[in-house]
Chain A
Amino acid sequence: MNEIHDYAIIGDCRSAALVSREGAIDWLCWPRFDSPALLSALLGEGAGRWSLRPARSFRAERAYIEDTNVLETRFFTDGGTLALTDLMPVAAEAEKRRMLMPDHEILRMLGCERGEVDAEMRLEVRPNYGRDRPTIRRAGELGVRIETPEGLLTLRSDLDCEVRDDGVVTARGRLREGERRYISLSFAAQWQAIIPPLGDRARQAIQRSIAWWRQWASKLEYQGPMKASVVRSALALKLMIYAPSGAIVAAPTSSLPERVGGDLNWDYRFCWLRDASFTVRALFGLGCYEEAEAFLSWLLHSTRLTQPRLRVLYDVYGRQPRSERELSHLGGYRGSRPVRIGNAAADQLQLDVYGDVIDAAVQFVRRGGAFDRDTQRMLCAFGEYVCEHWRQADEGIWEPRSGRAEHTHSRVLCWTALDRLLELHQNGCLRRAPAARFAAARDAIKNEVETRAFNASRQCFVATLDGDRLDANLLLLPWYGFADAASANMKSTYAAIRDELGAGGHLLYRYRESESPEEGAFGICSFWGAEYLAMGGGTAEEAARALEELCGYNNDVGLFAEEIEPSSGAALGNFPQAFTHVGLISAALTLARRLGHQARAPAQPAAGEQPAAGG
């Protein structure tokens, strides 16, 4: 079985597929990221795979075409070289108005670059996470029709296809130097299908997609260290944005293990509010204003039904995901069971989300935005909720299923929520806020954190009030403006975290390894460490070294999972992980500002245009 980092992602900003180094698509959910998987060999043999590769032994190399999410895999065989181009075609809205396009499509192009190569294809669609068998029939020139409960798949191929009795579609063909073959799998859920022709149309779709991604990447304003890693992270993040709503999924996969063979297997195909602040700051920092404002708009709309209570996570349309279930028929990635769909963390209490959502909203105002009255009322209601509940214990950012505690991080985020609301009030953006009440609660939280979350004997901040454990999320205290990165208390906290949670080099565990044995170093926590240095906790050179080292843990196409196995550098957890890429971008932006590369500061209100965000 492939390693997690042997995969690359392709997508169309609505859904995604994982492609292995051997040219196999082992994960595909259509029509949305969180739809039941049509191909899920990633989580169990026989659960659906689409492979396309040379018939004989080969060596493979791959890379994304520069500044795109179009993947190119080159197979080197004794007889010749075969290039496989994989993508989900995308187009600008104006182009979509001028032509018919399938709702969803995976387009694969084989091109022989040298010699002669026999290629073989094998498609086994197993809808509903491998539980169902589709109805398959040949439909003449319309291709092979594969009826699934989710919709109709249409396979069209330049290779001669055979539909076997066991529901597998196979094809084989010989390509000589200069020859090309196209294979298209398209999907229609609610409408009459659009059946794409191959040939020139397919070639144009590839060119159009490459141009679309490059045009998007050209708008990135980042000029600073590790630019290639930042651009790849931005492209990965863009793939995980559900374009119709602006929501961003944490990852496009479910149940890739945080501990191989273990039970830390979760479904990440939803949108976590805790990611809001980092994500919005990263998007604004990169110059992705449309994406940042769409995400913020989703954030404020999606929470309408539960306000002022904020839930931990929502689906891409702001609904509650279905309850968590285990798929006992799947063996799991390398035996990591159970495989879960849905996420029970949705019912947890995480008070930190208020700070993240409000901080995200403030980033919009700092860039010249303004809120309508409904949104102002909503933000005030969040503040009132925080004033009433900040003393409660909660599950905290890591969503343990072992119960609640008084988490320092959650308290600091409650402080952040009230501090930002008071900033909005002082700027005249939140006129009717109960400022005195907010200020009193904010000061009380600060006082409590400073007295009960700072362990005098250890001389550092600790994970829970009156506790002695450390947590990498304490590195965020300066990021939210609660503490000065260069202060003695933060420096001693950083030193203690490096000492106790260090996993080699600049890698960090999120908490003590003994609390979760065999779990990997946490990607975003490691980037928080680098960003802490960039914020003033260390020198710029130290921060640059840390960032460069951490960027080196990506896979060959620049992607990160949630965690990194420290000894081998292998990826662990769901893949690719938006939060890790956001952490990379955030650290790079902070370092770039410190080095003077990046003119764009996060905190100053922009003059001039005042875009309005509705709630």
Chain B
Amino acid sequence: MSFGGWLLWGFVATVVLTTVMAGSQGLRLTRMNIPYMLGSMFTPSRDRAKAIGFGLHLMFGWLFALIYVAAFHAWGAATWWLGAAIGAVHALFVLTAGMRIMPGLHPRMASEEQGPTVMRQLEPPGFLALHYGVQTPLFAGLAHLFYGALLGAFYPLPG
């Protein structure tokens, strides 16, 4: 395994994913802000949540890149389309299973069944994160496709 390649391209891919999501949020195509969602697990302060969440998101980006790298090694090939294919599966998992379990994991997230409480007020994502806008799955999917394609295209497979 190329440790340097994983670190570098895992970082670049995460930055691109974050940029696509932040850009679509800035253009009001979605209200999903992953760093805020992660950071608000630890603090109600919006500014602090964004900062903490950004750090966590970067770390998760690197960790997930390890799975991609493992897949490349298992297949003995790393191409942009192979990376994009893993990205598609990754996005599907995040948008379906990941988002559905968020209200159970997140201490500040409300649920449709119980409604908001003094502690739990953050809007839950719903199926495919559609609560954050109907275009959310599209841009979350695109961001993950870019993430995987970058890793696949640039991760240097030894040998």
A residues neighboring B (CB under 8 Å) = 96-100, 139-143, 145, 149-152, 154, 156, 188-197, 200-201
Contact = CB atoms under 8 A, between A and B. Distances in A.
B26 interface: yes
B55 interface: no
Contact of B122 (A100, A140, A189, A201): A100
Q: List the 10 closest A-B pairs by CB distance, nearest first.
A: A141-B115, A97-B45, A193-B123, A140-B112, A195-B116, A100-B121, A197-B116, A192-B123, A100-B44, A194-B121
B132 A142 contact: no
A96 B46 contact: yes
A31 to B, nearest CB: 11
A190 B47 CA distance: 14
A196 B108 CA distance: 12
Nearest to A197: B116
B74 to A, nearest CB: 36
Contacts of B32: 192
B37 A192 contact: yes
A193 B36 CA distance: 11
Contacts of B117: 197
Contacts of A193: 31, 122-123
Interface string B22-49: 0001101001110011001001111110
Contact of B114 (A100, A141, A143, A188): A141
B106 to A, nearest CB: 10
Interface residues of B, number: 32
B110 interface: yes
Interface in B87-118: 108, 110-118
Contacts of B121: 100, 194-197
B146 to A, nearest CB: 21
Nearest to B33: A191
Contacts of B110: 141-142, 195
A55 B156 CA distance: 72
Given A139-B112, A142-B115, A197-B118, A190 B25 contact: yes
Contacts of A98: 44-45
Given A141-B112, A197-B117, A197-B118, A188 B123 contact: yes
Contacts of A99: 44
A192 B112 contact: no
B31 A140 contact: no
A438 to B, nearest CB: 44
Q: Which of B108, B115, B116 has the most CB of A within 10 A?
A: B116
Label chain B's interface by main secondary structure: loop
B36 A100 contact: no
B118 to A, nearest CB: 5
Contacts of B48: 97
B26 A142 contact: no
Given A96-B45, A96-B46, A190 B112 contact: no
15 contacts: A96-B45, A152-B31, A189-B28, A189-B31, A190-B26, A191-B33, A192-B31, A194-B122, A195-B110, A195-B116, A195-B122, A196-B121, A197-B115, A197-B116, A197-B121
Contacts of B122: 100, 192-195
B23 to A, nearest CB: 12
A195 B111 CA distance: 10
Contact of B31 (A142, A151, A197, A200): A151
A145 B111 CA distance: 14
Given A96-B46, A97-B45, A191-B36, A140 B118 contact: no
B116 A142 contact: yes
B123 A140 contact: no
Contacts of B125: 192
Contacts of A195: 110, 115-116, 121-123
A140 B44 contact: no
Given A192-B122, A197-B121, A140 B46 contact: no
A91 to B, nearest CB: 12
A197 B44 CA distance: 15
Given A151-B28, A152-B31, A191-B33, A200 B44 contact: no
A196 B28 contact: no
B119 to A, nearest CB: 9
Contacts of A192: 31-33, 36-37, 122-123, 125, 132
Contacts of B131: 139, 145
Contact of B123 (A142, A149, A150): A142
B63 to A, nearest CB: 23
A328 to B, nearest CB: 26
A530 B26 CA distance: 48
Q: Which of A150, A152, A194 has the most CB of B within 10 A?
A: A194
Nearest to B129: A192
